[in-house]
Amino acid sequence: MPTYNAPLRDMRFVYHALVDGDSLHELPGYEDATPETVDAVLEEAAKLCRDVLQPLNRSGDEEGCQYENGVVRTPKGFKEAYDTFVEGGWPSLAADPDYGGQGLPHLLNTLVEEMICSANLSLGVYPGLTHGAYRALHAHASQELKDIYLPKMAEGTWTGTMCLTEPQCGTDLGLVRTKAEPSSDGSYSLSGTKIWISGGEHDLAENIVHLVLARLPDAPEGIKGISLFVVPKFVPKADGTPGERNGVNCGGIEHKMGLHGSATCVMNFDGATGWLVGQPHKGMRQMFTMMNLARLAVGVQGIGLAEASFQGAVQQAHDREQGRALNGPAYPDRKADPILVHPDVRRMLLTMRAYTEGMRALGAWVAKEADVAHAHPDTSRRRAADDLVALMTPIVKAMFTDLGYDVTNLGVQVFGGAGYVRETGMEQFIRDARIAQIYEGTNGVQALDLVGRKMPANMGRSLRRLYHPIAEFIQEHQDDARMQDFVQPLAKSFGRLQTVTGWLAQKGMSDREEAGAAATDFLRLMGLVAMGYMWARMARLALENEGDDPDGFHAAKLATARFYMTRLLPQTGALMSAILSGKDSMTDVPDSAFALSA
């Protein structure tokens, strides 16, 4: 397993210089987010990840979770590591001070979460979901429920889950069958089976708080008849400590491709006591609070695994000696040159780096806007920020997890045969990364969300939150000679994006299938352009700092930006061609093309 060291230099660059995270400190509620505090938090988190979480990553994968008679044991060391995590106050980092939180920005939390995902994604899933459940309760639950649950969840002594999926329903939650019957005391009795519940049962925390989608007896059919309930594993006593065991039990865990240390549970609700969160039949809207946050968090998993794999690959490219440079030995005194001398190995490493740092930059911009949307005193500024976050959420989720997966695959490729062997830890990143393209809404569903919901929303207002800054940046730098290598490719790809957007607005309005056929390619096109914009901004900062660059950080940024512009951004041309060819190649297809020809 490669040693993981958090990319603090890049994180500080992104936080302080690129997205001006320090300005958050002026917003009400974020007063504590001074540059010094931010750096101290990043450094402490880096230590925790390196010393506590990462050493358990491979052993956790090998051992996996064990299920017996309703009990789930997490891998050796997970409980102790989680205790350390809780003692360090990490679950409360971005939680509300009214409920014991530290009130630090989401932006900072995102960088910390990236580290956790790099170090030990399986372990990170438990607190990650807890934070999502915390946010959903914070937004929608009654004061009474908040007072009971939020402090415990902010503390991390209780964890949270999201119980949506049932055997017959995943993407289509309108098919939920779990029932909630009202009891005389104002609580509800829930019955049904939920599957693929991450952290549904485990031995890390003293209580588990399930957020459950279910139907009330008078519920309308479909998606408009779903309500949200909170169902604790142990019903809290009056003093707030866990009381009686509730009627919710784990019926088994899945054997999965990866993420072995994260328990994926079948949860049986058998007359379990629950409490309604928010209004009846509005459960989907409430759950979306949690899902949107979870989608951003899943995107961050893509960054984290990409970074971890990149670190391993860079090390290997320096260490492994094999063959000679194409134009003659680079290290004639050695038996062979390190494989880093080969352009094709550099191509792989630069692809990994360009995507990883590009995702971090783009993710940070979105995370900062989420903080602005949350805390800015000005309504229109809040709304503008919220628009951007809404627009970018499917891109962060889908593109980041796709690219994260691709990067982990490149990491194995750099290792060659050794990457396929479990011992090196490189293939685990692939296996752990694969689920992120699926859960919290498959990436195809994200693409539909983008073209079907986010783009048309508010007459294209959200879209302008992305397009305007890009257009302004291009205009501002179009005569800057040093910026030509970056502005020209950006302008070209942005032109493609605008062409396709216009086409889609026209076609997709009258025919939703046209939008559906274009969706996945369009999401990638927009995402690559947005990432290109971030790379151009990073290049500008690097050029400004070129003279004072003792560690070569800015030189590396410039080189990586150039690689992105020349080698990766041209994909936008192929995506445009594919999209403009229209839906017919998918929809005007005989049934026989979807039957086996055997």
Cβ at position 159, least distance to a second copy in Å: 21
Cβ at position 341, least distance to a second copy in Å: 9
Q: Which is nearer to a second copy, 151 or 261 (CB)?
A: 261
Characterise 493 by phi-psi region: left (phi > 0), alpha (psi -120 to 50), beta (else): alpha
Amino acid at residue number 270? D
Please pick, from the candidates 25, 346, 382, 464, the single residue that binds a second copy as defined by CB under 8 A: 346
Cβ at position 398, least distance to a second copy in Å: 11
45-104: contacts with a second copy (CB under 8 A) = 46
CA torsion 505→509→514→516, rounded to 10°?
A: 90
Cα three-residue angle 481-363-486, rounded to 5 degrees = 15
Q: Which stretch binds a second copy (CB under 8 A): 18-26, 129-137, 138-146, 321-329?
A: 321-329
Q: Which is nearer to a second copy, 346 or 383 (CB)?
A: 346
Instruction: Spell out, one character per residue from 186 to 215, where the chain touches a second copy: x when CB under 8 A holds, - when not.
Output: ----------x-------------------
CA atoms of 187 and 275, how far apart (whole Å)? 5
Q: Which is nearer to a second copy, 293 or 542 (CB)?
A: 542
Q: Which of 59, 157, 151 is nearest to 102 (CA)?
A: 151
Q: Which stretch binds a second copy (CB under 8 A): 64-72, 153-161, 349-357, 460-468?
A: 349-357
Paired tokens of 164 = 């949506």
Please pick, from the candidates 245, 347, 453, 461, the single residue that binds a second copy as defined by CB under 8 A: 347
Q: Please give the C-alpha separations between residue 404 and each of 204, 400, 437, in angstroms, as whole numbers.
A: 28, 6, 9
526-555: contacts with a second copy (CB under 8 A) = 551-553, 555
Neighbour-count burial of 221, counting CB atoms closer than 10 A to its CB (0-12 exposed, 13-18 middle, 19+ buried): exposed
User: Does residue 512 belong to the site contacting a second copy (CB under 8 A)?
Assistant: yes
Amino acid at residue number 563? F
* Contacting residues for 511 by C-beta, under 8 A, at least 6 apart: 583
CA atoms of 89 and 109, how far apart (whole Å)? 12
Cβ at position 272, least distance to a second copy in Å: 23
Amino acid at residue number 465? R
User: Does residue 36 belong to the site contacting a second copy (CB under 8 A)?
Assistant: no
Cβ at position 174, least distance to a second copy in Å: 8
Q: Which is nearer to a second copy, 168 or 499 (CB)?
A: 168
User: Does residue 591 belong to the site contacting a second copy (CB under 8 A)?
Assistant: yes
Alpha-carbon Rg for the chain in angstroms = 24
Helix or strand (DSSP H, E) at 252:
strand 248-253
406-435: contacts with a second copy (CB under 8 A) = 409, 412-413, 416-417, 419-423, 427, 430-431, 434-435
Q: Which of 438, 116, 437, 556 is nearest to 305 (CA)?
A: 116
458-497: contacts with a second copy (CB under 8 A) = none
Q: How far, in whole angstroms, is CA 514 from its chain's centroid?
A: 28
117-136: contacts with a second copy (CB under 8 A) = none
CA atoms of 73 and 92, how far apart (whole Å)? 25
User: Does residue 34 belong to the site contacting a second copy (CB under 8 A)?
Assistant: no
Q: Which is nearer to a second copy, 269 or 563 (CB)?
A: 563
Q: Look at residue 213 and give its three-state secondary structure.
A: strand
Q: Please give the C-alpha separations between residue 199 and each of 23, 123, 196, in angstroms, as whole numbers.
A: 36, 10, 9
Q: How many CB atoms lie within 10 A of CB 294?
A: 26
User: Does residue 331 belong to the site contacting a second copy (CB under 8 A)?
Assistant: no
CA atoms of 552 and 459, how far apart (whole Å)? 45
131-170: contacts with a second copy (CB under 8 A) = 165, 168-170
Cβ at position 343, least distance to a second copy in Å: 4
User: Does residue 511 belong to the site contacting a second copy (CB under 8 A)?
Assistant: yes
Q: Which is nearer to a second copy, 7 or 192 (CB)?
A: 7
Residue 300 contacts residue 113 (beta carbons within 8 Å): yes
User: Does residue 251 belong to the site contacting a second copy (CB under 8 A)?
Assistant: no
How long, in residues, is the chain?
598
User: Does residue 509 belong to the site contacting a second copy (CB under 8 A)?
Assistant: no
552-581: contacts with a second copy (CB under 8 A) = 552-553, 555-556, 559-560, 562-563, 566-568, 570-574, 577-578, 581
The 3-class secondary structure across 139-151, one letter per residue, is: HHCCHHHHHHHHH
Q: Which is nearer to a second copy, 8 or 17 (CB)?
A: 8
Q: Which is nearer to a second copy, 5 or 157 (CB)?
A: 5
Residue 275 contacts residue 188 (beta carbons within 8 Å): yes
Q: Which is nearer to a second copy, 238 or 593 (CB)?
A: 593
CA atoms of 431 and 444, how far apart (whole Å)? 20
Cα three-residue angle 125-128-133, rounded to 5 degrees = 120
Cα three-residue angle 362-365-366, rounded to 5 degrees = 90
Q: Which is nearer to a second copy, 39 or 83 (CB)?
A: 39
CA atoms of 214 and 230, how far apart (whole Å)? 11
* Contacting residues for 218 by C-beta, under 8 A, at least 6 apart: none
Paired tokens of 387 = 């628009």
Q: Which is nearer to a second copy, 64 or 101 (CB)?
A: 64
Cβ at position 407, least distance to a second copy in Å: 14
Paired tokens of 458 = 């508010």
Say which of 201, 427, 440, 514 is annotated catalytic. Answer: 440
Cβ at position 310, least distance to a second copy in Å: 8
Q: Which stretch binds a second copy (CB under 8 A): 7-15, 126-134, 148-156, 234-242?
A: 7-15
DSSP 92: G
Instruction: Spell out, one character per residue from 283 to 312, where the chain touches a second copy: x when CB under 8 A holds, - when not.
Output: ----------------------------x-
User: Does residue 329 belong to the site contacting a second copy (CB under 8 A)?
Assistant: no
Q: Which stretch binds a second copy (CB under 8 A): 20-28, 155-163, 209-217, 338-346?
A: 338-346
Cβ at position 31, least distance to a second copy in Å: 29
Q: Which stretch binds a second copy (CB under 8 A): 53-61, 146-154, 238-246, 441-449?
A: 441-449
In the residue annotation, 440 being an active-site residue is answered as yes
Please pick, from the candidates 290, 340, 366, 370, the single residue that binds a second copy as defined by CB under 8 A: 340
Residue 539 contacts residue 558 (beta carbons within 8 Å): yes
Supply the residues annotated as catalytic. Answer: 440
